[in-house]
């Protein structure tokens, strides 16, 4: 009996050479580290060293998150991944009325350079690689990081890491946008230019399919809409006068890893192949690094269950294996209790140990691209690629990613996929262990980590102290210079950095830009 993949593509019971009829191995595969990068972006992949093991963490206050980072580093993590709370993600200060009830809940609250100093206190910023899951206000958090590094005596050219900085997927699937698409894209182009001049080793954007997948996108939709967003960013930078090879090597991507190992491996291989072809043929990139689709992976939080949460340890291990077999450059493994609350110290440590077992106790790092030549994987890679390319063509027919967003195309496609998955789960056709099969009569008690609600009041006190103790005249002048740059064509990051150095808050800087650029209101909310 033929099954269907997550993308609705057929999975045959048996694959043989006939599945690859008309298949040119040299064109489709190539060598590891060479065009079209189907087999991985580096010649040796994990045989030289394993992927970067990142742990996504951040909650409550900067002090609490700093303690978690120090613990992770002590247990072998050298790649930090920062979670910010919703007010920070939306460009609001912790004492803003709109922030009430959300401060410190899903990540750390960062209101100013004072908080950033505490967050990275005692952490050598020239030795760790830091990924920040921040989008609309990405420029601000990057500049705060740079300012703290300078205070540590670390020059910007030694900083390594990534800002997510992918606002287009916010309009599609996540909703933490601030400005309309046009000024948002202008800000991203300014970040590209700034980092090329000031922070050359920094990955300026992590174009994200993860959140689309969490909203219900199939694997084919995930890579199609992510790569379409990537094309929009490249076009924006080129239109702003940048040469593609000046910024493309610093682009990176962010995908999910589900429990469906075979299709996930095929998805990663197909994504690399499509991106290499687009960069070479559409944009004329000449630098091989411009053709490489380098990506971070996070295991699928949407597949974790509150029922029998320890079973999530198994799910995460399988998902992590899919990411590794697919050739990820860095990986975050979710903690087993994340469907209930923020992870505890113990569950975060177990998540890291999961990666360490994969890296050091299995043989998946002993050879490059272990699935190459598999009849099943190569056919599934072709199928996912074809489905993704067809979706990308539909986006182009609508005028590109931004125009397709305005038509609601990506959102509607993802919602249809999510509805199909929900129907299959409700009917029992899709088995979810502990939810619709193999349930317990009574769940075992579990004590989750709780965030102290008093954090909001403490952050408000810190903000009051900051405003009382700073040179307000200098802040006002810096914010005025920022607005002037936003009204014209100058790069806004330079006056933005001056404002943050003067201890302007995240909310004040974003409000200055709101005054000039306005805010985004989705069409279905009008």
Q: For the segment 88-143, what is each residue's pLDDT rounded down to a tens digit?
A: 999 999 999 999 999 998 899 999 999 999 999 999 999 999 989 999 999 999 99
Q: What confidence score (pLDDT) does residue 156 get? A: 98
Quote the Cα angle for 401-406-412, to 5°: 85
- Is 506 a member of any domain? yes
Answer yes or no: do 460 and 420 share one domain: no
pLDDT for the residue numbered 368: 96
Which residue, of 408, 427, 446, is where some domain finishes?
427
CB contact at 8 A, 77 and 54: yes
CA distances from 415 to 134, 173, 218, 420, 518 (A): 24, 9, 10, 9, 28
Give the least confident one: 64-78, 84-98, 246-260, 293-307: 64-78
Q: Where are the beta strands (DSSP E) in 27-121?
A: 52-57, 79-83
Nearest to 168 by CA among 394, 405, 357, 385: 405
pTM beyond 0.75: the answer is yes
Q: Is 307 within the bounds of a domain?
A: yes
Q: Are residues 422 and 508 in the same domain?
A: no
- Cα(first)–Cα(last) distance of the chain, in Å? 48
| Model pLDDT, residue 343 | 83
What secondary structure letter does DSSP report for 443? P
The count of residues in the chain is 526
- Residue 436 in any domain: the answer is no
Task: Supply the DSSP symbol for 444.
Answer: P
**Residue 304: CATH number of its domain:** 3.20.20.240
Could you read off the pLDDT of 403-423 as tens digits, one per residue? Answer: 999 999 999 999 999 999 999
Out of 18-27, 45-54, 62-71, least confident range: 18-27
pLDDT digits over 36-59, tens only?
999 999 999 999 999 988 876 667
Residue 445 belongs to some domain of the structure = no
Task: Please indicate, yes or no, whether residues 419 and 472 belong to a single structural domain of this protein.
Answer: no
Domain that holds residue 338: 3-33+52-362+369-427
| Pair (228, 148) in one structural domain | yes
CA angle 435, 440, 445 (to 5 degrees): 100
The secondary element (H helix, E strand) that includes residue 417 is helix 409-427
- 459 and 423 in a single domain? The answer is no
pLDDT digits (tens, 9 = 90+) for 305-340: 999 999 999 999 999 999 999 999 999 999 999 888
Higher pLDDT, 63 or 26: 63
Q: Looking at residue 33, what is its pLDDT?
A: 96
Compute the mean pLDDT over every residue in the chain, rounded to the nearest whole number: 94
Angle between helices 506-517 and 493-501 (to 10 degrees): 150
Burial of residue 71 (number of CB atoms within 10 Å: 0-12, 13-18, 19+): middle
Count of domains forming the chain: 2
Q: For residue 279, name the pLDDT band (cuts at 50, 70, 90).
A: very high
Q: Looking at residues 368-381, what average pLDDT do you find?
A: 96
What is the per-residue pLDDT for 524? Answer: 66
Same domain, 519 and 463: yes
The least confident of 56-65, 182-191, 243-252, 511-520 is 56-65
HSE of 70, CA atoms in CB hemisphere, 13 A? 12
Give the model's pLDDT for residue 500: 98
pLDDT band at residue 525 using 50, 70 and 90 as cut-offs: low
Structural domain contains residue 40:
no
pLDDT at 1 over 70: no
Residues in contact with 287: Cβ distance below 8 Å, sequence separation at least 6, in sequence order: 245, 248, 249
pLDDT of residue 388: 98
Whole-number pLDDT of residue 516: 98
Q: What percent of the chain has pLDDT over 90?
A: 84
d(CA 102, CA 81): 20
Which residues neighbour 361 within 8 Å (Cβ) at sequence distance 6 or greater?
none
Q: Reply yes or no on whether the pLDDT at 496 is more than 90.
A: yes
Place 160 in a pLDDT band, splitting at 50, 70 and 90: very high
Q: Is 104 left (phi over 0), alpha (psi -120 to 50) or beta?
A: left
CA distance 486 to 468: 27
For residue 525, how far is the Cα from the chain centroid? Answer: 26
Same domain, 134 and 84: yes
Question: Quick one: 220 and 173 in the same domain?
Answer: yes
497 in the same domain as 354: no
What secondary structure letter does DSSP report for 335?
P
- For residue 48, how many other CB atoms are within 10 A of its CB? 10
Asked, for residue 406, whether it belongs to a domain, the answer is: yes
CA separation for the pair 157, 146 (Å, rounded): 10
If asked whether residues 173 and 286 sit together in one domain, one would say: yes
Q: Are 419 and 63 in contact (CB under 8 A)?
A: no
Is residue 164 a part of any domain in this protein?
A: yes
- Residue 124, C-beta contacts closer than 8 angstroms, at least 6 positions apart: 152, 154
CA-wise closest residue to 455 among 57, 61, 58: 61
**Can you tell me the mean pLDDT for 476-499?**
98
Exposed, middle or buried: residue 442 (CB in 10 Å: 0-12, 13-18, 19+)?
exposed
53/76 Cα distance (integer angstroms): 9
Residue 53 bridge partners (DSSP):
331
Is there a single domain that holds both residue 123 and residue 230?
A: yes
Report the pLDDT value the prediction gives residue 412, as an integer from 0 to 100: 95
- Are 316 and 461 part of one and the same domain? no
The whole-number pLDDT of residue 61 equals 87
In a domain, 394, yes or no: yes
């Amino acid at each position: 009996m033929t099954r269907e993949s997550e993308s609705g593509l057929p999975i045959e019971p048996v694959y043989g050479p006939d599945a690859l009829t008309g298949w040119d191995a040299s064109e489709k595969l190539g060598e590891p580290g060479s065009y079209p990068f189907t087999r991985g972006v580096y010649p040796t992949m994990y045989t030289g060293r394993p992927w970067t093991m990142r742990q996504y963490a951040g909650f409550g206050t900067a002090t609490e998150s700093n303690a978690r980072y120090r613990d992770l580093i002590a247990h072998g993590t050298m790649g930090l991944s920062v979670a910010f709370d919703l007010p920070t993600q939306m460009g609001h200060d912790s004492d803003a009325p709109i922030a009430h009830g959300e401060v410190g809940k899903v990540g750390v609250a960062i209101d100013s350079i004072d908080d950033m100093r505490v967050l990275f206190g005692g952490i050598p910023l020239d030795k760790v690689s830091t990924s920040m899951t921040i989008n609309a206000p990405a420029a601000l958090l990057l500049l705060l990081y740079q300012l703290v590094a300078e205070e540590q005596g670390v020059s910007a050219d030694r900083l390594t890491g990534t800002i997510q900085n992918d606002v287009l997927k916010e309009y599609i699937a996540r909703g933490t946008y601030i400005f309309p698409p046009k000024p948002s894209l202008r800000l991203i182009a300014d970040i590209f230019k700034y980092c090329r001049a000031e922070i050359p080793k920094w990955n300026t954007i992590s174009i994200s399919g993860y959140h689309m997948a969490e909203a219900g996108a199939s694997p084919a939709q995930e890579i199609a809409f992510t790569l379409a967003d990537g094309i929009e960013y490249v076009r924006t930078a080129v239109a702003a006068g940048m040469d593609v090879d000046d910024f493309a090597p610093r682009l990176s991507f962010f995908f999910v890893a589900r429990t469906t190992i075979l299709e996930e491996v095929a998805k990663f291989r197909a994504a690399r192949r499509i991106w290499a072809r687009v960069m070479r043929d559409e944009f004329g990139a000449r630098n091989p690094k411009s053709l490489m689709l380098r990506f971070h992976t996070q295991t699928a939080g949407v597949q974790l269950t509150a029922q029998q949460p320890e079973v999530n340890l198994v799910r995460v291990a399988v998902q992590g294996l899919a990411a590794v077999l697919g050739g990820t450059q860095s990986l975050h493994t979710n903690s087993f209790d994340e469907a209930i609350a923020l992870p505890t110290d113990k569950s975060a440590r177990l998540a890291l140990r999961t990666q360490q077992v994969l890296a050091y106790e299995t043989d998946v790092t002993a050879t490059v691209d272990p699935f190459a030549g598999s009849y099943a994987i190569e056919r599934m890679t072709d199928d996912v690629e074809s489905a993704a390319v067809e979706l990308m063509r539909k986006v182009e027919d609508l005028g590109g990613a931004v125009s397709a967003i305005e038509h609601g195309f990506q959102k509607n496609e993802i919602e249809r996929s999510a509805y199909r998955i929900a129907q299959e789960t409700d009917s029992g056709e899709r088995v979810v262990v502990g939810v619709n099969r193999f349930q317990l009569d009574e769940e075992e008690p579990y004590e989750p980590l709780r965030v102290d609600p008093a954090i909001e009041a403490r952050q408000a006190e810190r903000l009051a102290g900051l405003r009382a103790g700073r040179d307000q005249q200098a802040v006002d002048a810096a914010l005025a210079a920022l607005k002037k740059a936003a009204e014209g064509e100058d790069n806004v990051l330079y006056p933005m950095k001056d404002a943050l150095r003067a201890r302007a808050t995240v909310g004040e800087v974003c409000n200055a830009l709101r005054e000039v650029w306005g805010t985004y209101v989705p069409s279905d909310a009008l």
